[in-house]
Structure 1
Amino acid sequence: MAVGFAMNCVKSLLILFNFMFWLLGVGLVAVGASIIGDGKTIHALRLTEFDQQLLTSTCNAMIAVGVIAILIGFIGCAGAAWENKCLLGTFIAIMGVLSLIEIIIGGVALANKHKAENYLKEKIDHISDTQYQNLTAEVKKFVDTIQAEFRCCGMKSVRDWAPDYPGTCNCTQKTGDDVQDGVCDTTTGRWKKPCDTKIMDNLRGAISVMAGMPIAVAFITWIGMAMAFVLFRSKDGGPPTFIIRGHEYKAFA
């Protein structure tokens, strides 16, 4: 009775786990798609001549893993609900491979974090040393987008574009909340702070999510693999057994 109750608990937990894993797969797809769709991060890396394809490829890999995770969630639920050894074995094998891929994705993102930051910082320094009127059309578009989005003016200093400031530096026509938030200098009519810190924080946040999400999912997959293994072994007859240092132990015995 105790073994049967324990196996039913494992079965129920595995079904719940796979539902949560399915949601995590949806989350991976959403995160990867949102970073690719984040014009600020992608555009900033394009301007630095950083390997933008690396970031895009990492996000695409994250989306692919998310789609696979969604499919695995269905396989795991079916295997647990029907107690089918074939489906459970397939689930364990795919989860093992998937966890390795997730760790690699997270590792690639972490390994390139400082490289991306250094490239971006160098480009910010270069833009800051150039008059706004002398910037290329693409760089001007980036600057205007960043200043409007982050409510800032200039790259390293609010006086970067003096004396001819672009319209996106002006905050006097904005909402009253900007004045109340303390980001608008009512004396000059321009944003109070430069954009460099906010640009770097935006990049760090994107990379941290890219690295943290896959690694977190990898650890969770191991929990699912352990439960699936217990249920898989129980179908051989009786509770699953484990041999440790020559001694045999029965789970839930």
Structure 2
Amino acid sequence: MGRLSGSLQCVKYLLLTFNLIFLLAGSAIVAVGLWILFTGNIKELSEGDEEVYVFFFAGLYVLVGAGALMMLIGFFGCCGAARESQCLLGAFFACLLVIFAAEVTAGVFAFLGKQKTIIDAQGLYTKAYDDYIKNGGRNETLQDFHTFAKCCGNADPESAQRVRSLCLEEHKEHKNCLEEIAKMLNHSFQIVGILAVATAGVTIFGMIFSMVLCCAIRNSREML
């Protein structure tokens, strides 16, 4: 193993620090992704009409998968930097490239699919509302929307009284669900998109550090 110069030793320890941060960032992404998936009744809403949420859930699942991969790669990246292994650093770079592509894909899905998903979700709510007014009975889709968006009724102020039995006790006052659905989905899309783009940006630094260190290790060995 060749001896690295002081500046390249600095790069080595920067890469070690980066991988530790990368591992923690992957854990945070997985946690946030699972939180979005399993809170606010988003998952229950998707079961009624999966096509409505195809962009959102595709981006979210890619993001969670990339986060899990980041945790694993962060660990192996630390091993590669600590042992000054060209093989491990090369594999680390290739994995970072895959993660970069996955994160960009998740960001694109989140930003491009946002408006369509919101419009489709509002249409699904309107359809469920009209069906309930016409046929009555139990309407789980409408109830899930009221729980998810913390709302009751549509743009008509009197609509809340018509669906009062399907609203949460604390949300029985009129609150336009069409607006609240747009707000909630906008917020979720922003979280997914920002996480994806930010992580992709950080990944670029990891690729640069790994290649610089890998080349330095190769050169130092050639000089022996």
TM-score category (smaller protein): 0.7 to 0.9
Question: Is contact 1:127–1:155 with CA below 8 Å preserved after alignment?
Answer: no
Q: Give me the TM-score of the superposition, normalised by structure 2.
A: 0.81
1:215 equivalent in alignment to 2:215:
no
The structure, 1 or 2, with the larger RCO (C-alpha pairs under 8 Å, 6+ apart) is 2
The verdict on how the C-alpha distance between 1:195 and 1:9 changes in structure 2, with shifts beyond 3 A counting, is: same
C-alpha deviations, 1:198-233, integer Å up to 9, x for none? 222111122222222122111111101111111111
How many residue pairs were aligned?
A: 217
The verdict on how the C-alpha distance between 1:194 and 1:94 changes in structure 2, with shifts beyond 3 A counting, is: same
Q: CA deviation at 1:66?
A: 1.5
Q: Distance in 1 between matches of 2:101 and 2:168?
A: 46
1:198 equivalent in alignment to 2:144:
no
1:224 equivalent in alignment to 2:206:
yes
- Secondary structure, in 3 states, of the residue corresponding to 2:96? helix
Question: Is contact 1:158–1:192 with CA below 8 Å preserved after alignment?
Answer: yes
1:42 equivalent in alignment to 2:43:
yes
Q: Distance in 1 between matches of 2:57 and 2:137?
A: 24
Residue identity in the other structure for 1:202: M
- Structure (1 or 2) with the larger CA radius of gyration: 1
Name 1:181's counterpart in structure 2.
Answer: none
Q: Give me the TM-score of the superposition, normalised by structure 1.
A: 0.73
The verdict on how the C-alpha distance between 1:36 and 1:68 changes in structure 2, with shifts beyond 3 A counting, is: same
The gaps in structure 1 that reach 5 residues or longer are 172-183, 185-189, 239-253
Q: Distance in 2 between matches of 1:111 and 1:135?
A: 36
Q: Distance in 1 between matches of 2:95 and 2:213?
A: 16
Name 1:241's counterpart in structure 2.
Answer: none
Which one has a larger percent strand, Structure 1 or Structure 2? 1
Question: Is contact 2:153–2:174 with CA below 8 Å preserved after alignment?
Answer: no
Q: What is the percent sequence identity of the aligned residues?
A: 26
Residue identity in the other structure for 2:25: L
Q: Distance in 2 between matches of 1:151 and 1:55?
A: 20
Question: Is contact 2:58–2:106 with CA below 8 Å preserved after alignment?
Answer: no
Q: Distance in 2 between matches of 1:88 and 1:27?
A: 24
Name 1:242's counterpart in structure 2.
Answer: none
The verdict on how the C-alpha distance between 1:145 and 1:120 changes in structure 2, with shifts beyond 3 A counting, is: closer
Q: Distance in 2 between matches of 1:169 and 1:75?
A: 48
C-alpha deviations, 1:168-200, integer Å up to 9, x for none? 3654xxxxxxxxxxxx8xxxxx52523222222
The gaps in structure 2 that reach 5 residues or longer are none
Name 1:156's counterpart in structure 2.
Answer: 155
- Secondary structure, in 3 states, of the residue corresponding to 1:72? helix
